[in-house]
């Protein structure tokens, strides 16, 4: 095995369309909750690899998870939250999206700590992971049970479908 070229990592993007009729409209709750599930699976897989002693694969899988989660946070903050604030009339500095943004900063901080220590067998990664899951679990619950359904209701079917399309095109 030899390295033919060195350079920056290459990221692979996977697109998957949910089952349904072509042209069927998508809701925000369905699309973004699905992304939560996809990200959860990547994070769990990375820790299974770490537990088996495969720190290199664990790091690579966690990096894919981190990119996906940062992208998810980006499209929420740049696309979803402004649309929600616009149609709901809620203040971005004091409403539910302000809370979500603050939680995003906490999630990003814990994500970075785990990312940095995932390959170190002596790093207390489980302590950070527990904190991460406590914040992320509550955060995702609020989004999936409150913010996303409210966004679907406030925006309506056509606008929600358009917004999901913008999320899918988001480059981050």
Residues 6+ apart with CB under 8 A from 29: 144, 148, 149, 151, 152
Position 171 scores a pLDDT of 81
Residue ranges of the chain whose pLDDT lies below 50: 1-3
What is the number of other CB atoms lying within 10 angstroms of the CB of residue 144?
15
Q: Which two tokens stand for residue 103?
A: 């939680």
Query: Do 39 and 111 touch, CB atoms closer than 8 A?
Result: no
Segments of the chain assigned E as strands: none
Position 49 scores a pLDDT of 96
Q: Report the C-alpha dihedral over residues 81, 82, 87, 91, rounded to 10 degrees.
A: 80
Q: How far is CA 108 from CA 17, 72, 132, 136, 162, in A?
A: 27, 11, 9, 10, 28
């Amino acid at each position: 095995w030899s390295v033919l070229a060195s350079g920056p990592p290459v990221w692979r993007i996977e697109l998957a369309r949910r089952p349904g009729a072509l042209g069927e409209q998508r809701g925000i709750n369905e699309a973004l909750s699905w992304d939560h599930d996809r990200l959860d699976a990547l994070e769990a897989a990375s820790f299974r690899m770490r537990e088996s002693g495969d720190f290199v694969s664990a790091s690579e899988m966690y990096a894919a998870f981190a990119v996906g989660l940062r992208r998810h946070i980006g499209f929420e903050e740049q696309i979803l939250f402004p649309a929600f604030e616009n149609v709901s009339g809620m203040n971005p500095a004091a409403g539910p999206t302000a809370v979500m943004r603050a939680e995003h900063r906490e999630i990003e901080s814990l994500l970075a700590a785990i990312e940095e220590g995932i390959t170190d067998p002596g790093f207390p990664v489980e302590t950070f992971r527990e904190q991460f899951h406590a914040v992320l679990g509550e955060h995702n619950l609020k989004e999936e049970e409150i913010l996303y359904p409210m966004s679907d209701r406030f925006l309506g079917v056509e606008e929600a479908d358009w917004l999901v399309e913008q999320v899918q095109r988001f480059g981050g």
